[in-house]
Each structure stands twice: as structure tokens, then as C-alpha cells.
Structure 1
Amino acid sequence: MTVKNYFPAGENASFDAGGGLTRKVAAFNDNLMCVEVHFETGTTAPLHHHPHEQITYVISGRFEFTVGERTYEVGPGDSLYKQPDIVHGATCLEAGTLLDLFTPHREDFL
């Protein structure tokens, strides 16, 4: 893959994932991906797992996240780490935006 260093905000369109969830790939290369995710109140990201490491940073809103056997209520400035293949999911308690970082990048998001 050719290395790209600049990703203008208007370059990538938002993807409607359905059920009140939209996401926009902000930047990526082979080893890393940054995704902006918008949730409407009440939207649920069902429990799932994937082989990627993931860090979620809460920009705005309130969420209930399940990561493995634990559940956390999180808000702006909070972060969560999800190791590869751990079961996780979220419910949006108050409309908001997350920033998800994945390594390696999520081919299924491109």
C-alpha cells in the first residue's frame, strides 16, 4: 500500500450502518485505522468480536459498554481498550460520537 499522509475531512463519506449508527473512516494505513462513529440515543452495537486491537475514545455522549465480562458507563474523555477477539458491544444512553482506533486496519470498513 502506498503511504498516504493527509486525509481531508471531506474526502470520505459517512456510512449509514443502520439503526442510528453512522461511521466515517478518518484515516488508515496497513497497520492502523481511525474511525469516527456517531450514535443516536438508544442505538445498540450488538456484542461482537474481531481479530483487531481497538481503542475507543468518547468524544461526546454517554454509553454503556460491555467488554468481556465487565460493563462500564462512559462519557466524554473516557477510553476503553479491547484486545483481539474479546466480546464487546455498546448501548448509547445519550447521543454522541466515538473515535475508534484499530490495528491492523479494518478491511471490512473500506
Structure 2
Amino acid sequence: MQHLDDNTRTELEAAAFRRLLKHLDDNKDVQNIELMILADFCRNCLSKWLVAAAEERGAELDYEAARDHVYGMPYAEWKAKYQQEATPEQLAAFEERQARKKAQASNEGEK
């Protein structure tokens, strides 16, 4: 993508992000805990990244507004309709992933 001008690259990245949001919206059965276990990010992370990007650019974006955008509805509504209770297996897998990340970060710090 290095051959693209900045505007075109930004437009393509924005289009890909919108497609990701649509994909997540079309697959509401995919739980945030599953995303965190497999990819180390979830819908809430995307919301936080939007807020951080706004702050970097001097724009104001409230976290709840960002979540509404990512979830396509108020978070409380999405949670009530679609979020399932994490299973013990999911929680264990999440904790294992977090422990691996912590160990990796510790090992990198020793180098």
C-alpha cells in the first residue's frame, strides 16, 4: 500500500474498518470473550481505540458514543440482547492467554 497516496490509504482503511464493524454486527453470536481469547481484542477495544484516535487528533469522542457506534446500538441494549455469560472454559482460556502475555512481556523486558 506504499504506492497509495495518504488520502486513498486512509479511505481504504476506513472502508475496511466499516466492513469489520458490519461483519461483527452480522455475527452477534461471536462473543467478546471469544474475540479476546483468539485475537486479544473485542468490540470494547475497538471503541477504546476510536476514543484514543480522536484524542490524538484533538477531537472529542465519548467512550459511550464510541461503543454505540461499534455495537450499532447502546451497549446496554446489545448486552441484554446478545451477550451470553462466559463459560468456565472461556474464562480459563482468557486467563491463560493473559498469563502468556504477561510472561512474554516479562521475558521481553529481561532482554
TM range (shorter): under 0.3
| Greater percentage in strand | 1
- TM (norm. structure 2) is 0.25
- TM (norm. structure 1) is 0.25
Q: Which has the higher contact order (CA 8 A, sep 6+)?
A: 1
| Greater percentage in helix | 2
